[in-house]
Structure 1
Amino acid sequence: MTMKQDLATRSNEIHWPERFNPATADLFAHNELLINASCEKVWSHIVDASKWPQWYPNSRDVVLPEGTKVLGKDTTWRWSTFGLSIESKVNEYVPHARLGWYGYAPGTQPSFYHTWYLAPRGARCLVVTDEAGVGKDAAHLRETDETLLHRGHDLWLATLKWVCEGN
């Protein structure tokens, strides 16, 4: 999907830091999927970043701070995604419901903000993941491959569904 299509379907439930408002961002992606598992189970896989590479092929080299088992409030970690080395810091953390983190090249200002919103739907969980990027790198990605972020998140949700549903 294009950024315009993603903006039209974005979730109003997401809490955005001011600088990362999707309406003014240089790049934005919205993805959602209903998973046949509880939000607690889905959450356990999302916050267990060290295990992402086992089920999400776009995640590599996850390094959490010493003694840290899962993502939590203010956790800063390093990892590779989309072939780039990234440092991320958790900004929003509401167990089983909301997770938001900044992403940036180590030593630079945050240029991306990635969110997860989980909502129970009976015995299932609606998972929404949105990401906004600002600055020259986000603008360049929009110009060269506008749908890359959306496709990557489609893959992340599909593999999250796979691991949560016990496949």
Structure 2
Amino acid sequence: MQKSKLAQTAILGALLLGNTGLSFASSAKDQTSEHYRHPMASDLAKRDKNIHWPDGFSPKEADLFAHNEINVDASCAVVWEHIVAAQDWQRWYPNASLVKLPAGASKLESSSVFQWRTFGFDIESKIVEFEPRKRMGWFGYVPGKAPNFYHTWYLVPEGSGCRVVTEEVGKGADAQKFREMDESTLHRGHALWLEDLKWVSETPAVVTGLH
């Protein structure tokens, strides 16, 4: 059953995410139906007012923005462990690969700087907000250049489950180009991330061994 789900995830990821690099967004636009189009204005209207944003990265200033959330039938502690176990992302989320954590680190921590590939781009991310089992935020950028994206996670316990919110702001020419090609690509990628996070958090230990 686990292998079947992983296969389905890979197929869905290919359909939603398309190819790599700048061709990624246009391919996704060609391959996906109107069902998957999601205007940025809709996400801005739904943004969570409890999320913390660094100076210069407010959603109001964004050239690209995505809001996604999902309810998970597992505790926020369980969900959190899957988020910080970044080297395992590629085992259940097809839009993440080549994750490299700091030397000696087994998971993301406060102030971690890590490298990975997502949406077809090789990037570096630096964690600047880290409140275990509740909040995490990181800057994303091409190594050696100024940060131009900020991604945040916000976990809220609801009964025995967890409401998971993730939002991202993009600024500058790269974000503008991404939006011009298909402004819903970021939303679709994060929707897939949350669906897979829900699945892996609700699935027994045989999937990743984290429970």
TM range (shorter): over 0.9
1:51-88 CA deviation, whole Å, 9 max, x = no partner? 00001100000000110011111000000000000100
Runs of 4+ in 1 over 6 A off after TM superposition: none
Separation in structure 1 between the aligned mates of residue 99 and residue 105 of structure 2, nearest angstrom: 12
1:76-125 CA deviation, whole Å, 9 max, x = no partner? 00000000001000010000000000000111100000000000000010
The correspondence of residues 1-167 of structure 1 with structure 2, limited to 5 A, is 1-166=38-203
Question: Alignment RMSD, CA only?
Answer: 0.7
SS at match of 2:126: strand
When you count strand as a share of all residues, which structure comes out higher? 1
User: Any stretches of 5+ residues in structure 2 without a counterpart?
Assistant: 1-37, 205-211
Separation in structure 1 between the aligned mates of residue 91 and residue 51 of structure 2, nearest angstrom: 28
Separation in structure 2 between the aligned mates of residue 49 and residue 22 of structure 1, nearest angstrom: 25
Q: Given residue 7 of structure 1, which amino acid in structure 2 is its aligned partner?
A: L
Separation in structure 2 between the aligned mates of residue 90 and residue 48 of structure 1, nearest angstrom: 14
When you count helix as a share of all residues, which structure comes out higher? 2
Separation in structure 2 between the aligned mates of residue 63 and residue 94 of structure 1, nearest angstrom: 22
Separation in structure 2 between the aligned mates of residue 25 and residue 9 of structure 1, nearest angstrom: 15
Q: How many residues align?
A: 167
SS at match of 1:93: strand
Q: Given residue 156 of structure 2, which amino acid in structure 1 is its aligned partner?
A: A
In structure 1, the partner of 2:16 is none
Separation in structure 2 between the aligned mates of residue 23 and residue 3 of structure 1, nearest angstrom: 12
User: Which structure has the bigger radius of gyration?
Assistant: 2
Separation in structure 2 between the aligned mates of residue 24 and residue 82 of structure 1, nearest angstrom: 22
Q: Shift of residue 2 of structure 1?
A: 1.1
Separation in structure 2 between the aligned mates of residue 24 and residue 104 of structure 1, nearest angstrom: 17
